[in-house]
């Protein structure tokens, strides 16, 4: 039977991936309250459709940081794609290029950046950076991604320490080594393992350090992990180019707001001075429309991309993206929305 929604891809991945890989992908922090609330919060929002509007031509295109994408649905940074499919991030990059959307490549990619770029040389790609304690290593990485044609630097701010992920502890998974050696360390993998050396993350990084990064690159700097008005205002003050409202898929601090619940506060705080994006909990085209209605420029999708990879690699990711895009087109049409990127759809919060 064909897989017709993202839930179908999730179930297929759960049935076919090893337990340790599934737990690593799906796990959240502590009781997983935030992970689950990311999705549940969308269901508390109702759309208010407008009819007798000409929707014979619906245009999903938008721009992010000046680059056009085919729809406001892009790929969030997640690590270790080879856990789900042998070609890993190369397959993900090819699917993103074919869909004409942005793919944020993770610091913890399981393929070399050179191989990822070679797999999809025309793709729009941003790079997600976990800040290393050694400034020279950060400098070298930034220079490398800039030379490889990445178009933005996404600095993750919500991991001064890895969250308390019980599934990984239960499975006796050391995020630095054990999962990778168990799932990926076969002799025939050749020289893949050097790309899996997870580096330490600097817990001392603070707002004043952003000027150093800005001096290192001409790339626009996006902060990923902002959830509050106060931090959004500081981001604008420090001249960043964008914010991804995110709680790390519920994998860091549990019992923080769902991303969609934090979005309005952040959008109001930046007053249109920087672009605001969202990740966390996107599972349907309606979810995409709700995020845009609340002020997001586009959304980024994480776990469902890995489910697609586990299904059929590049083609599975393409199917996931196609489903989301088709659902979003339907949502736009049935709410009377002709153009993506204009948050004119009215919504209602359920009590």
Among 248, 252, 130, CA closest to 200: 130
Euclidean distance between CA atoms 66 and 139, whole angstroms: 25
Euclidean distance between CA atoms 150 and 152, whole angstroms: 6
**123 assigned binding-site residue:** no
Euclidean distance between CA atoms 301 and 78, whole angstroms: 9
Element housing 328 (H / E) = helix 303-334
DSSP code of 151? -
Does residue 101 contact residue 67 with C-beta atoms inside 8 Å? Answer: no
Does residue 108 contact residue 81 with C-beta atoms inside 8 Å? Answer: no
Cβ neighbours of residue 314 closer than 8 Å, sequence gap 6 or more: 87, 91, 92, 94, 95, 98
**133 assigned binding-site residue:** no
Is beta strand 221-226 parallel, antiparallel or unpaired with respect to 153-156? Answer: parallel
Euclidean distance between CA atoms 251 and 241, whole angstroms: 25
Among 150, 144, 147, CA closest to 123: 150
Cβ neighbours of residue 190 closer than 8 Å, sequence gap 6 or more: none
- Beta strands, E only, 165-234: 221-226
Count of alpha carbons within 13 angstroms of residue 66, beta-carbon side: 5
- What DSSP string runs through 251-285? TSSTTSPPHHHHHHHHHHHHTTSSEEEEES---SH
pLDDT number for residue 237: 98
pLDDT number for residue 346: 66
**130 assigned binding-site residue:** yes
Cβ neighbours of residue 351 closer than 8 Å, sequence gap 6 or more: none
248 part of the active site: yes
Euclidean distance between CA atoms 84 and 305, whole angstroms: 10
pLDDT number for residue 172: 65
pLDDT number for residue 176: 44
> Within the chain, which residues score under 70 in pLDDT?
172-199, 341-346, 351
**79 assigned binding-site residue:** yes
**186 assigned binding-site residue:** no
pLDDT number for residue 164: 84
User: Which of the residues 12, 248, 315, 329 is marked catalytic?
Assistant: 248
pLDDT number for residue 309: 98
């Amino acid at each position: 039977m064909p897989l017709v929604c993202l839930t179908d891809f999730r179930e297929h991945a759960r049935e076919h991936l090893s337990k340790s890989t599934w737990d690593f992908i799906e796990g959240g922090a502590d009781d997983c309250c935030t992970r689950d609330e990311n999705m549940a919060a969308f269901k508390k929002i109702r759309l208010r459709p407008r009819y007798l509007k000409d929707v014979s031509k619906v245009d999903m295109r938008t721009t992010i940081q000046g680059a056009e994408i085919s729809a406001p649905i892009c790929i969030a940074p997640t690590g270790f794609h080879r856990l789900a499919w042998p070609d890993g991030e190369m397959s993900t990059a090819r699917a993103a290029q074919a869909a004409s959307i942005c793919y944020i490549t993770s610091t913890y990619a399981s393929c070399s950046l050179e191989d990822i770029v070679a797999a999809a040389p025309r793709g729009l790609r941003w790079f997600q950076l976990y800040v290393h304690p050694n400034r020279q290593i950060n400098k070298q990485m930034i220079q490398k991604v800039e030379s490889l044609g990445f178009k933005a630097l996404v600095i993750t701010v919500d991991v001064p320490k890895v969250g308390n992920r019980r599934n990984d502890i239960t499975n006796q998974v050391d995020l630095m080594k054990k999962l990778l050696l168990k799932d990926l360390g076969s002799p025939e993998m050749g020289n893949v393992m050097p790309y899996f050396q997870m580096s330490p993350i600097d817990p001392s990084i603070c707002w004043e350090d952003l000027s150093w990064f800005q001096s290192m690159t001409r790339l626009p700097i996006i902060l990923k992990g902002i959830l509050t008005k106060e931090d959004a205002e500081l981001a604008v003050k420090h001249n960043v180019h964008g914010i991804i409202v995110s709680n790390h898929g519920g994998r860091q601090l549990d019992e923080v707001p769902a991303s969609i619940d934090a979005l309005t506060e952040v959008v109001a705080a930046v007053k249109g001075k920087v672009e605001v994006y969202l990740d966390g909990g996107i599972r349907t085209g309606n979810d995409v429309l709700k995020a845009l209605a609340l002020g997001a420029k586009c959304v980024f999708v994480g776990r469902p991309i890995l489910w697609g990879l586990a299904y059929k690699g590049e083609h599975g990711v393409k199917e996931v993206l196609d489903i989301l895009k088709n659902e979003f087109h339907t949502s736009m049409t049935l709410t009377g929305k002709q153009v993506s990127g204009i948050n004119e759809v009215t919504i209602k919060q359920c009590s």
